[in-house]
Structure 1
Amino acid sequence: MRFLILPLVLALSACSLTPQLVKPELPVPASFSAMTAAASEHSQAPAQAADLGWRTMFGDPRLQRLIELALDNNRDLRMAALAAEATQAQYGIQRAARLPAIDANAAFTRQRTAANANVDPAITAATQKQFGVGVGLSAFEIDLFGRVRSLSDAAFARYLASEQGHRAARIALVGAVADAYFAERLAGEQRQLAERTLADWRQSLDLARRLKESHQNSGLDVAQAEGQVASAEADLEARTRAGAQARNALRLLVGVELPDDLPTALPLEHQPVVKQLPAGLPSDLLLRRPDILLAEQQLVAANADIGAARAAFFPRLSLTSSLGFVSPALCGLFDDGHRTWNFAPQVTLPLFQGGRLRAELRLAELRKDSAVAGYERAIQTAFREVSDGLAGRETFGRQIDAQIRAVGSAERRTELSNLRYQAGVEGRLELLDSQRQLYAARQTLLDLRRSEFGNAVALYKALGGGMSDIDTPVGGVAQP
C-alpha cells in the first residue's frame, strides 16, 4: 500500500495557481498607411521581408564577406549567445527541482568510547566500528500547488526570451555591418569628390594668378580663389577623418582586422540593395520581430512568477527517505538483518512572515504589469520603425531623382559661368558661387544615396529580416 503513496502525491501536484495569461490587444492600427500599402502590393520582393536572406538583400560581394566575418567574430553576438546558454543552464537547474534527487552513499565509522563515559561501570573502554550503504532522497518537495512548476515555467520562458535576444542581436549585427559599410563607402566617395574638386579649384587658382600676372584681373579674384582652395583643403581633411572613423567602426563590428583579399567595393550608385520591401500587416511583426517575441516571453515568465508567489501561501510538503544496510562488520553488511530504511515526510505551513509573502506577490504582479507595458511598447516601437521605413521608401527615390536634376543644372551653370569668366563677360564671383553650388549638390546626392540605403537596412531590420543568409521558403523557418 505504501508504494501507492508517492504516485498519488505526485498526481495531486497537478494543481497550479498561475493566472491565465491574456495578451493585450495590439496598441497600433490594424494596417499601415494606404500610401505604403499600395506600394507593397506592386513590390517584386517575397511575401514577407523577413523571408529575404541577407545575401539577397545585400548583393555586394564585399559586404557579404564582411557580414560573414562579423557573424563569426563579433564579440557582442558571442556574448548574446553565451547569455542564452547560461539561461538555458539556469532553466535546467530549475527543471531538475521538479524531480527527486536520489543519492547513493557509503559510510564507515570507527569510534572509541572512554571507560568513565559509560553509565554502567561494568562496561570498559571499547572501540566500535560500523559500515553502512544506502540510497535516498532528501527534502524533495511534492508540488501540491504548482510552486515548483511555476518557477520552472518562468525559467523556461526566460530561456526562450534569451534565445530571442540572441536572434535580435544577430539581426542587429547584420544591419549594423551594412550601415557601417555604406558609411565607409560614403566617406570614401565624398573624399574622392573632395580630391577632384580640390584639383579643379587649384587649377582655377593657377589660372587666376596667371591672369593677375598679365594684368587681366585684380587681386580680388586671386584672393577668392585662394579662399576657395583653402576651404576645399579643410573639407578634404574632414572627409579623410570621416573615412578613417568609418573604417574603425566597421572593424569593430567585424571583430577582426579586415583581410586584404576582400572583393572590390561597388560604388554607392551601383549597390545591389533591395529597396522595395513588403510591409505586410502589423500583426505579422508579432511572429517576425525577435524583440517582440522576447518581450512576450518575459511576460509569460512574469505571469508564471505570480503562480509561484501565490503557491507560497499554501502548505509545502517535502519528503526525505532512505533505504540501505548498516552492520558492524563489512562481511555481513548485506545480510537481511542489517537492512534499514526511513520515511520522513514533512509539512510546512507559513503562519507569520511579517508580510513578506504578500509583498512578494505584489512585486510579482507589478512585474507582470511592467512586462505588459514593455510588450506593448515593443509593438509600438516596431510599428513606428516600419512606418518610418515605409515613409522613407516612398520618398527617397523621388528625392534622389530631383537631386540628380539639381546636379545636372549646377553642372551646366558652372560650365557656362566658366566660359563667361574666361571671355571676360562676368566676374569671378559668379563662377565661384556656381562651383560651390555644384560641389554641395554632388555631396548632397551622395548623402541621399547613403540615406536611402540606410533606410532600406532599417526597414529590413524592422520587418524581422537578417536572421538567415538565404531566402526562406514559404511556410519555412529562417535558420542562422
Structure 2
Amino acid sequence: MKKSILLLPVLLAGCSFAPHYERPTTPPADQWKPVEGWQPATPADDRPRGDWWTAFGDATLNDLMVRADAHNNTVAQAAATYRQARAATKGARASFFPTVTANGSVTHSESGGARSIVQGGVTSSGSKKSTNYSVQLGASWEPDLFGSIANTVSNAKATEQARLADLANARLALQGELATDYLSLRAADAQIDSLTATVAAYQRALTITSNQYNAGIAPHSDVYQAQTQLASAQSDLEGEKRTRAQFETAIAVLVGDNPAVFTLPSIGTAWTPVVPDVPVALPSVILQRRPDIASAERQVAAANAQIGVEKAAFFPTVSLSADGGFNNGSLAGLFASSASLWSVGGQVAETLLDFGARSARVRQAREAFNAQVANYRQVTLTAFQDVQDNLVASVVLKKQEDFQRQASIAADKSETSLFDQYKAGIVAYTDVVTVQASALSARRALIQAQVDRQNAAVALIQAVGGGWQAADITNGAEARRAEAAPR
C-alpha cells in the first residue's frame, strides 16, 4: 500500500485530459473534374521544383525573387512571429522542471545606547552594533500530475508549427504576387511597344490623309478622323505607361526597395511569354502541400490541447519547495555547520467553488476547437476550388490565346489591305478607321491573353502549394531560414 501511494504521482504524471486528437476529415475526392483539352503534366528531373518561377525563363524575375526573399517585410514579420512562437514553446517546456533561486545578503544594524543627565553634562553608554551574513538556495517544483503543463506545451508546439506554416504561406504569397506583377509589367512593356508602333503608323496615315486633302482628293473629315485615331492611340499609350509605373512601384515594395529609386528597364519587343506546364497533384496530396492547410490543421491541434489544459483545472495542484542556506554574524564562520539552516515543504491547492467558471472555460475551449475544425475544412475546400478554377482557366485561356492570335493576324491583314485601297481611292476613310480600331483592339487583346495565361499558371502553382513537390515545411527548411533571418 505504501509503495502504491509513493508511485501515485509517477502514474499521474502521464495523465492528460485532452481528447485524443485526429486530423479532421474532409470531403473525399481522388481526382479533379475533367477539363477538355487538359493532359496531366509529368515534369522531368531537370524541371524546376522548389524555385518554380525559374520555369518562366527570366533571369530578372529570378533575381527579384532572391531580393524579395531577403528583404520583404511581410515575410520578415512572419519569420519573427514564428520565432516568437518557438520561444513560447521553450518557455512552456521550462515549466516541467524546478525553479532554482539563490540569494545572499549582508545586514548591518546599530542600536543607540542609554543617555543620562548628570551634574556637569550629559553622559551616554556606547551604542550596540552587529553584522549578519546570509546565503540561501531555494527550489520549487509543481509536478504535472494532471497534464496541464503537457497540454500547454502541446498547444504551444502546435501553435509554433502553425506559425511556421504561416511563414511558408507568406513566402508563397509573396512569390506569387511578385511573379504576377513582374509578368504584368512585361506585358505592359509589350503593350507600350505595340502602341508606340501603332502611333507611328497613325501619324503616317495622318500625313497621307492630309496630303490627299490638300490635293483635293479627300474630304476634311478624313483628316479629322485620322487625328482622332492618332490622339486616341496616344492616350492609350500614356495610360499603359502609367500602368507599367504602378507595377514597377509594386515590385519595389515587394523586394523591400524605395519606389522612388527603383527601376526596371524595358525589354520592348524582347518579351517572349513562356507558360510552363503545371503538374496538378491529387486532392489528397494538396492537403500535404498547401501551407495554409497545414496552418489550419495545426490550429485545430492547438485548440484540442487547450481543452486538456482547461479540464486539468478541476483537479488540485501540488507544489513542492525546499530551501537551505547559512546565516551567521561572522563572514569567516558563515559556512560552518552551526550556521546552516534548511526547510522542506509541500502545498496542495484546490478550488472548491467557482460557480461554473471552470466548466464555462471547458465549453469555451470545446467551441474554439469546433471553430478551428470548421475553419480547417473551409480552407481545404477553398484549396480544392482554387485548383479546379485555375485548372479550367489554364485550359480556357490557352484556347482564347489561340483565337486571339488568329483574330490579330486577320485584323492586321485587313488593316493593311483596306488602307492600300483607301490610298487607291477605292474605299472611304471611315472603313479604314473601323478596321484600324479593330486591329489595335485585337493586338492588345492578344497580349492580354498571353499574360493572362502566365498569371493563371502562377495561380495554379500557388493553388497546388508551390513548385512540383510537397511544401518543404516539415523537414525544417522553413525553420532554418527563419532562424537565419536578420533579427
TM-score normalised by L of structure 2: 0.87
1:295 and 2:296 matched: yes
Please state how far the C-alpha of 1:270 moved relative to its aligned partner: 2.1
- 3-state SS of paired residue (2:414): helix
1:188-235 alpha-carbon deviations (Å, 9 max, x no partner): 111111111111111111111111111111111111111111211211
Instruction: Please give the residue correspondences for 1:60-459 in structure 2 after superposition, counting only pairs within 5 Å.
Output: 60-112=58-110, 126-138=128-140, 140-256=141-257, 265=267, 270-274=272-276, 276-459=277-460
- 3-state SS of paired residue (2:281): coil
Greater mean alpha carbon deviation, residues 147-156 or residues 261-270: 261-270
- What are the ranges of 5 or more consecutive residues in structure 1 without an aligned counterpart? 117-123
Q: How far, CA to CA, are the matches of 1:264 and 1:430 in structure 2? A: 35
Q: How far, CA to CA, are the matches of 2:207 and 2:455 in structure 1? A: 40
2:37 and 2:395 in contact (8 A); partners too: no
CA distance 1:400–1:163, shift in 2 (3 Å): same
- 3-state SS of paired residue (1:108): strand
Greater mean alpha carbon deviation, residues 338-347 or residues 426-435: 338-347
Please state how far the C-alpha of 1:58 moved relative to its aligned partner: 3.1
CA distance 1:94–1:333, shift in 2 (3 Å): same
Please state how far the C-alpha of 1:85 moved relative to its aligned partner: 0.9
Greater mean alpha carbon deviation, residues 412-421 or residues 302-311: 412-421
1:331-351 alpha-carbon deviations (Å, 9 max, x no partner): 122222222211121111111
Please state how far the C-alpha of 1:392 moved relative to its aligned partner: 1.7
- 3-state SS of paired residue (1:165): helix
Q: How far, CA to CA, are the matches of 2:313 and 2:369 in structure 1? A: 18
Query: Which residue matches 1:462?
Result: 463
Please state how far the C-alpha of 1:77 moved relative to its aligned partner: 1.0
- 3-state SS of paired residue (1:29): coil
Query: Which residue matches 1:121?
Result: none
Please state how far the C-alpha of 1:130 moved relative to its aligned partner: 2.7
Greater mean alpha carbon deviation, residues 398-407 or residues 355-364: 355-364
Please state how far the C-alpha of 1:375 moved relative to its aligned partner: 0.7
Q: Give the residue type in structure 1 aligned to 2:392.
A: A
1:268 and 1:450 in contact (8 A); partners too: no
2:138 and 2:321 in contact (8 A); partners too: yes
Q: How far, CA to CA, are the matches of 1:9 and 1:464 in structure 2? A: 46
Q: How far, CA to CA, are the matches of 2:441 and 2:6 in structure 1? A: 82
- 3-state SS of paired residue (1:353): coil
Please state how far the C-alpha of 1:444 moved relative to its aligned partner: 0.4
- 3-state SS of paired residue (2:107): strand
Query: Which residue matches 2:123?
Result: none
Q: Give the residue type in structure 1 aligned to 2:345.
A: A
- 3-state SS of paired residue (2:345): strand
1:143-191 alpha-carbon deviations (Å, 9 max, x no partner): 1101111111111111111111111111111111111101111111111
Query: Which residue matches 2:33?
Result: 33
Runs of 4+ in 1 over 6 A off after TM superposition: 4-8, 258-264, 475-480
Please state how far the C-alpha of 1:315 moved relative to its aligned partner: 0.6
Query: Which residue matches 1:15?
Result: 15
Q: How far, CA to CA, are the matches of 1:311 and 1:253 in structure 2? A: 46
TM-score normalised by L of structure 1: 0.88
1:34-78 alpha-carbon deviations (Å, 9 max, x no partner): 3379611xx24259x994432543321111011111111111111
Query: Which residue matches 1:53?
Result: 51
- 3-state SS of paired residue (2:240): helix
RMSD of Structure 2 on Structure 1 (CA): 3.1
Greater mean alpha carbon deviation, residues 436-445 or residues 25-34: 25-34
Q: How far, CA to CA, are the matches of 1:37 and 1:440 in structure 2? A: 27
CA distance 1:107–1:459, shift in 2 (3 Å): same
1:392-432 alpha-carbon deviations (Å, 9 max, x no partner): 22222222111111111111111221122112111011111
Q: Give the residue type in structure 2 aligned to 1:393.
A: S
Q: How far, CA to CA, are the matches of 2:341 and 2:32 in structure 1? A: 73
Q: How far, CA to CA, are the matches of 1:57 and 1:322 in structure 2? A: 67
- 3-state SS of paired residue (2:301): helix
Please state how far the C-alpha of 1:353 moved relative to its aligned partner: 2.2
Query: Which residue matches 1:119?
Result: none
Q: Give the residue type in structure 1 aligned to 2:89.
A: Y
Larger RCO of the pair (alpha carbons < 8 Å, separation 6+): 1
Q: Give the residue type in structure 1 aligned to 2:246.
A: Q
Please state how far the C-alpha of 1:265 moved relative to its aligned partner: 4.8
- 3-state SS of paired residue (2:442): helix
State the aligned residue count: 463
Please state how far the C-alpha of 1:472 moved relative to its aligned partner: 9.9
Q: Give the residue type in structure 2 aligned to 1:314.
A: F
- 3-state SS of paired residue (1:340): strand
1:299 and 1:372 in contact (8 A); partners too: yes
- 3-state SS of paired residue (1:322): strand
